[in-house]
Structure 1
């Protein structure tokens, strides 16, 4: 077999496609060398393969006697509280240092058990040993045009459509059955994360092959499983439509029975009904909007769709250009203004242009019936400008005027893809004849359609609700930092929009309502001592509603007590002193290894770019200062994500004091050696689960699901690695206000609704499926609206926690006495 492999030429590569699968089958099987002695204080995450503190020579003797694939875990003789994995491969004993934070990581791969880690390592080393030359040539000599995926896409391509230039959205993926690379057609070996798979079209490839694939992703509906919070281009390609289906259906329903309804798009629909419809769309269920009694609910669904887009229909880069063009051409002829705006519009994707044209034409129809529905172009522009534009700090009035202009001239500004006109070749007179050009009326002007107008943009009844609104949400930003190239745009949280596994956005709040919340929070922060002493329930309720994004960092400092510590004279210069110290090399080395693992999809910690180095420098200084402050406790991997979240919201000095408060007051002992405090809280969570969801508790007990298997990452990282980002921020708001009981309540909600019904228990019958389910909970359960509501409904007082904590500590003392 070996002679057909590396020495063969490209024409002889064919047999090796199957031989790679045979190599995996022939790889040594893992065999644990079990310890025959009782070891006190055995780490909870290791089994009988842990031999404690033994000599390296003794370990090698036992392993060589056991043969190929044998492995054991021993305590390191060089580093305290460090462990070494020893395994036999190719008649040699290999030693690997282990890092543990709730799971085993090797690069991008994550393993739930030591046996899986060893098995995957043996397979990878065996295949690499026997086919190393072939593997090196595999991606370079592959004929992509002859691959099954390429033939499939070329056969189904409609030549009338524009060429596909969309990049694949690759993420590490574990294939449960033998699978082959769609690029080189070779076997994907290994047990976990054998390769990469595109989340939008299902293209599977080796990691190196994925770097060579063409930009020919054609999303399919079976992979794009949601309707909301999905990029418009991806959604349209997946469903084979020019406009997202939910937009088409909502517009059709409103035009069928809502054009004459007074206050259409101004009156709010039922939030519960809107969310129910949204979940039905996300679950790919058939939705009959004609059965919805309240047309305002359909209008609310349409507005909710645009608000929840990962990037607004008119992104910030295009929006900024449109505003500049609209302002600069204010004194020029109308047709010149339209030509300039239309040219800026061509920067939008095809799906965005067609969708924008559809919504503008629809809004113009609504405005044409303003005599009955009382919704003029001015009213509609005021309502929809925060929804369609990512305006940020831009004043509201220019946005209203721009959208007023677009609604008045939808045909001339948003041509179909097939009708894209070359600006240089069009005659101005013919242009004016082809399109009916209108412009927004100015205060004091008269209109042949509406008669005399007042100076305000809205009617008197509308002034309170839809007066000049100042958009306060942060916009996606475009920054230059990759060797002069354009860096991918980011959402309002700073995450790149083209990252794998996008987050749902925060539940949209009316700008006027958000401004009122900000004023209340500013007043409360200015009188913090009074509210803490006399009106703490007000603080708690406002934290449960969510802290305004613009004040979140400042509020967190007050909530955790960092602001007070920063003002105490004895603590005022602690950070500056600690940062100047050299630090323990042992901890410094561990911190540096973890810097690139913390939110690499966030602009502050990106591997490349203008801002990544600065964010990682701040993260390093914060964690180093902590190890200087606590040299005995040192650094734990679970601390880095917590510190990174704080740095996203405040300067490094402020983040350090907040971090110290979290480690001292909120999670004491969580990051100490042995994770004893985490294990105690695991016992408490188990008892609470028995009270809150007996069905889940019995199922977990039957399958020996220990809380340590899923709660370590949840609690130590305060859920920042386990929940969508908007939900993470809401959990942190409540956690810093109410304490660690919020972590228990969040965990109980996830467990109860993730595996808490007879059907769910039937679908996840064993340990592996349960743990996998808890790591991949559905969006409905992890959404901020659902999770926060259930957490607030759950009753869990401090007395119960104290009682369970006392019981857990007593049982542990009895167990180890």
Structure 2
């Protein structure tokens, strides 16, 4: 669900990017152009309903934070995060909940020192090549924009490449860093949030072997086998590899897969609760997709099902969708995921060893 900058949207409650354009109907409040495929009347009606929710959540969050820049982790805050963080508080909550704020405070000046470091020429070139491919549908990432975020994006990615030479730069990181900049409007905070994601929340997703990403795709398969067995059987019958249909879900953290407002609600929980949220979202999408998958007669038809599930009211109504991800998949503990990850990693390493 994308917040629209139009007559129905209250900037008081949507303190987002305050983008001013000649045609406000054309661009949402994050700078993304409205898709021509979206039924705008239905979408705006959905948004007007959601604004009531945002107003209520904003009031509650303001009372909870009471002007503070930090927040303790407890059941009340967890409940608040699951119900959505208003955009004006997102940077504070993401930084505090993820540990990025602590890293920033313990390493004063570190980010800026990374930008002064002698960088690998190849690193610079591959980052530069990806800049124009990053959100071409967002006016903030166009060189013609008054406040173009391309330079900030380049700096964050270059600093990270200097900071973590084992990862350097991997395609997909540009979209994640770009989303962080859209919300924080701050290079240093975006850098530390990116570091927290890649180092703590999603380890080995962006390393050359991508072992973490490959393992998590297999973990999802095991979870589907246990929780949505009919889908698992259909996938096995048509010999569909999970990496074929869900790798972009995980590596881009649902960016360009789900509507922007839904992605940000997912990220609220991702920074607070960790990577198990990615599995809850995937399982909810797959459960919703089950009838179409079971009717599919071939691998291409199944792939088409996975493309269609990420569109429409089911995912645009982000508030209802987020309620579903915590109900429909049932119990999903980090302990279970950790155990499955160990098993899947061992299997992948064994298979790669036998093929070498």
Q: Shorter-chain-normalised TM-score: which range?
A: 0.7 to 0.9
Deviation per CA, 1:644-685: give whole Å up to 9, x if none.
Answer: 010011111111111111110011111111222111111111
| Change beyond 3 A, Cα 1:593–1:501 | farther
Residue 765, structure 1, aligned to residue 301, structure 2 = no
Distance 1:752 1:672, change over 3 A: same
Q: Which runs of 5+ in 1 are unaligned?
A: 1-228, 230-307, 316-387, 394-470, 481-485
Q: Relative to 1, partners in 2 of residues 1:524 and 1:767: Cα closer, same or farther, differing over 3 Å?
A: farther
In 2: Cα distance, 1:811 partner to 1:752 partner: 26
Specify the alignment match of 1:102 in structure 2. none
CA distance in 1 between counterparts of 2:37 and 2:147 reads 22
44, 63, 84: which one pairs with 1:520?
63
Residue 597 of structure 1: SS of its match in structure 2?
A: coil
RMSD: 2.6
Partner residue of 1:785?
319
| 2:11 equivalent in structure 1 | 392
Give the distance between the partners of 1:511 and 1:708, measured in 2 at CA. Answer: 36
| Alignment match of 1:683 (pick from 204, 207, 218) | 218
Question: Which residue number in structure 1 is paired with residue 348 of structure 2?
Answer: 812
Which residue in the other structure is 1:747 paired with? 282
The match for 1:478 is 20
Instruction: Give the number of aligned pairs.
Output: 341
Q: Which has the higher strand share?
A: 1
CA deviation string 1:689-710 (max 9, x = no partner): 1011011100111111111112
Shift of 1:560: 1.1
Question: By how many angstroms is 1:522 displaced?
Answer: 1.7
Q: CA deviation at 1:774?
A: 1.0
1:600 aligns with 2:146: no
**C-alpha displacement at 1:814, in angstroms?**
3.5
Q: Cα offset for 1:479?
A: 3.6
Matches within 5 A, 1:338-349: none
CA distance in 1, matches of 2:162, 2:69: 33
Is 1:644 the counterpart of 2:178? The answer is: yes
Q: Match of 1:495?
A: 32
- Structure 1 outlier segments of 4+, above 4 Å: 308-311, 471-477, 486-489, 499-506, 524-527
Partner Cα separation in structure 2 for residue 600 and residue 526 of structure 1: 33
Secondary structure of 1:509's partner? helix
Q: 1:575 to 1:475 in 2, by over 3 A?
A: closer
Which structure would you say has the larger Rg? Answer: 1
Q: What TM-score does the superposition give when structure 1 sets the normalisation length?
A: 0.40
Alignment of 1:675-754 (within 5 A): 675-754=210-289
SS for the counterpart of 1:635 is: coil
Structure 1 493/771 Cα, relative in aligned 2: closer, same or farther at 3 Å? same
Q: 1:472 to 1:587 in 2, by over 3 A?
A: closer
Mapped contact 1:713–1:719 kept (Cα < 8 A)? yes
The residue that corresponds to 1:774 in the other structure is: 306
Gaps of 5+ in 2: none
1:577 is aligned to 113
1:799–1:519 Cα change, 3 Å: same
Cα deviation for residue 711 of structure 1 reads 2.0
Name the one with the larger helix percent.
2
Checking the alignment, whether the CA contact within 8 Å between 2:134 and 2:175 is kept in structure 1 is yes
**What are the Cα deviations for residues 184-229 of structure 1, in whole angstroms up to 9, with x where unaligned?**
xxxxxxxxxxxxxxxxxxxxxxxxxxxxxxxxxxxxxxxxxxxxx9
- Give distance in 1, aligned partners of 2:80 and 2:3: 26
2:163 match: 629
For the 8 Å contact 1:745–1:791, the answer to whether it is kept is yes
Q: Distance in 1 between matches of 2:113 and 2:282?
A: 38
Q: Is 2:77 the counterpart of 1:543?
A: no
Task: Describe the superposition over 1:355-412 as per-residue Cα deviations: whole angstroms up to 9, x where unpaired.
Answer: xxxxxxxxxxxxxxxxxxxxxxxxxxxxxxxxx5x4524xxxxxxxxxxxxxxxxxxx
Look up the match of 1:610: 146
**What TM-score, normalized to structure 2?**
0.87
Superposed, 1:135-534 pairs within 5 Å as 310=4, 312=6, 315=7, 388=8, 390-393=9-12, 477-479=19-21, 490-497=27-34, 499-501=35-37, 507-509=50-52, 513-523=56-66, 525-526=68-69, 528=71, 531-532=72-73
1: CA distance, partners of 2:279 / 2:16: 32
